[in-house]
Structure 1
Amino acid sequence: MDATNPLPRWEALAELDDDALPLLGVALLIARDEYPDLEPRRYALQVQGHASHIRGAIDRESHPALKMRAINQYLFEEVGYAGDHDEYYDPRNSYINQVFERRLGNPISLALVQMAVAREVGLPLDGVSFPGHFLVRLPVDDGLLVMDPFNRGRPLDVDELRQRARTHMGGEMPDDDALSQILYPASNRAILVRVLRNLHGVYSECGDWERATRSADRVLRLLPDNPEALRDRGLGYLELGHLAGAREDLHRYLLRQPRADDASQVRLRLIEAGARTARLH
């Protein structure tokens, strides 16, 4: 994101190719829903400032792993970015402006900062939608340097990656091919959707249906007709009393996922929405 460029518009995102989606710009667009007065230029300049501060040290290193170590030392030790271990589910940890301001975040928001700064100095750092916690990866020699942004960018070896993945794969240890697929770079769209799904989970858990529904709606701006987001927005509409919207979204969900595990529950909610509409008439 260039400091002189305005934020993109939600209406335009679905038509953009993934590579054309400005990762930091859309992350700030997500944050502007909650913080309408945020100034995007402030945070773009902050990324550029971080990069300018570290560029000399990076240029003195010849190996990508050493360059990345210098970035991590600066961000996590000097500047003080850290994983919010005490209030992990605080929604502020998902809003990138708050991560810049508070120096606290969750794995994916800290990865966004790490990636923005690394890319600003020419390192091709990518995100990884790893099961559980989001990770980052950097091509190094003939392999990958995989790091945990939630824990100060700590490098993870193959054995630890297998063990982490195993806990989310029913206890099955991934082989080389499975691990390679898990470590495939996440697309910009997938990263942004994961941010929004995190927010939806936080807000729905505490019954904040207005914000939960908004989060699902924003997923649909990135992925129109995404079944899970249709379901989530429809259920949110139902909680908010927006019955016409609930019926439409839940009906579309069932058309796309008629054999989903929760299809019978969604049908019951759809019947409930119809009954409530009939009572209103």
Structure 2
Amino acid sequence: MRKPFAVPDWNSLARLDDASLPLLGTALLIARDEYPDLDPDLYDTVLQAHTAHLREEVEALEHWPLKMQAINRLLFEELGYAGNHDEYYDPRNSYINEVFERRLGNPISLALVQMEVARRLGVPLDGISFPGHFLVRLPVDDGVLVMDPFNRGRPLDVDELRQRARPHMGGDAPDDDVLHQILNPASHRAILMRVLRNLHGVYSDGGDWERAVRCADRILKLSPDDPEALRDRGLGYLELGHRHGARHDLGLYLQRSPRATDADAVRDRLIGLGGGSTRLN
């Protein structure tokens, strides 16, 4: 009898190193905040079906790019997974259960599906925390093959990668060394934190401060020393009227990041709460 698919506990995540942090299990844990009745086994079974459909074909192929081509064909052509271009900021694009159900997602959630299928088939597909849209990478003989899961796994050449990075780097295209650094594999922790940051951005922009605070709090479960999440949770508490929580988080943020570009603005908000200026200085 197959064991139930294991979903970790939030309080255990900070103790796990990046390699031990379960990618799918934690993505389902994030989704369970919004969908408390979701069944993790159901989505593990969906992935098992995708994998079983491909296994014989993929194992018969010799080269990684051909294996990846077969995986992309199944996911994006036969099964219909696609980037949600029309409603990019729909929060459902970030919840992995909804991605499986609707076959719609954003770059990072589609990458997660792609990575899970590939890895279960022995294909070493990694994520890239690329500026703007999340990408994936596959080792090849002379380097890496970079693909865009939001656009049906389309391969990207060096020139397009430079152009995509340019707007996020002050208008300058990255040189070879910088581009190589950008294309380093993203850890599981970095991927999951980016999922939560995307959700935080959607909820805070929409004024849904309870959910925004929840996302910031979950980031701190993954990375307790993350200063931006501490600031975001504190500002969310402030919007919700939780003055004690706001005072604690914003004060700690300023202690840890006294030279942050927004330090003066945060300090003003904290002083307005009665946080005092002497202690902060």
TM-score between the two structures when normalised by the length of structure 1: 0.96
Aligned to 1:112: 112
Q: How does 1:162-173 map to 2 (within 5 A)?
A: 162-173=162-173
Can you give the 5+ residue segments of structure 2 that lack an aligned partner in the other structure?
276-281
Q: Answer yes or no: is the 8 Å Cα contact 2:5–2:44 preserved in 1.
A: no
- For residues 118 and 273 of structure 1, the distance between their equivalents in structure 2, rounded to whole angstroms, comes to 50
Contact residue 51 and residue 117 of structure 1 kept, 8 A: yes
Q: Work out whether residues 84 and 106 of structure 2, in 8 Å CA contact, stay in contact via their aligned partners in 1.
A: yes
Structure 1 residue matching 2:160: 3-state secondary structure: helix
Deviation track 1:101-147 (CA, whole Å, cap 9, x = no partner) reads 00000000000000000000000100000010000000011211100
Q: Report the Cα offset of residue 3 of structure 1.
A: 6.2
Partner of 1:123: 123
Contact 1:127–1:186 (8 Å) recurs in 2: yes
Matched-pair contact (CA < 8 Å) for 2:93–2:105? yes
The code of the aligned residue for 1:76 comes to F
Distance 2:106 2:56 in 1: 29
Q: CA deviation at 1:5?
A: 3.3
User: Aligned residue pairs: how many?
Assistant: 274
Contact 1:118 1:125 in 2 (8 A): yes
Partner of 2:192 in structure 1? Answer: 192
Structure 1 equivalent of residue 267 of structure 2: 267
- 8 Å CA contact 1:14, 1:221 repeated in 2: yes
Q: Distance in 1 between matches of 2:214 and 2:118?
A: 31
The answer to whether structure 1 residue 35 and structure 2 residue 35 are counterparts is yes
State the shift of 1:272 in Å.
2.3
Which sits farther off after the overlay, 80-89 or 45-54? 45-54
Distance 1:272 1:204 in 2: 21
Which residue is 1:213 aligned to?
213
Q: Quick one: distance in 2 between partners of 1:272 and 1:33?
A: 32
Corresponding residue for residue 244 of structure 1: 244
Cα deviation 1:10-60 (Å, max 9, x = unaligned): 000000011000000000000000000000011111111100001121122
Which residue type is aligned with residue 227 of structure 1? P
1:64 aligns to what?
A: 64
Equivalent residue letter for 2:17? D
Tell me what 1:91 maps to: 91
Q: Which amino acid aligns with 1:169?
A: M
Are the counterparts in 2 of residues 135 and 149 from structure 1 also a CA contact under 8 Å? Answer: yes
The percentage of aligned residue pairs carrying the same residue is 73
Gaps of 5+ in 1: 276-281
Map of 2:279 onto structure 1? none
After superposition, give the CA deviation of every residue in 1:179-198 in whole Å (9 maximum; x if it has no partner): 11000000000000000000
Q: For structure 1, which segment, 167-176 or 145-154, has the greater mean C-alpha deviation from structure 2 after superposition? A: 167-176
CA contact (8 A) 2:27 2:192 kept: yes
Amino acid at match of 1:184: N
Q: Runs (4+) of structure 1 moved beyond 2 Å? A: 2-6, 272-275
Give the distance between the partners of 1:232 and 1:215, measured in 2 at CA.
9
Give the Cα–Cα distance (whole angstroms) in 1 for the partners of residues 240 and 202 of structure 2. 17
User: Does structure 1 retain, via aligned residues, the 8 Å contact 2:138–2:144?
Assistant: yes
Q: CA deviation at 1:150?
A: 0.1
CA contact (8 A) 2:47 2:117 kept: yes
AA of the residue aligned to 2:142: D
Contact 2:196 2:216 survives alignment (8 Å): yes
In structure 2, the partner of 1:278 is: none
Return the letter of the residue paired with 1:48: Q
Deviation at 1:171, TM superposition (A): 1.6
Q: Give 2:179's aligned amino acid.
A: L
Contact 2:216 / 2:233 at 8 angstroms: preserved in 1?
yes
One-letter code aligned to 1:270 = L
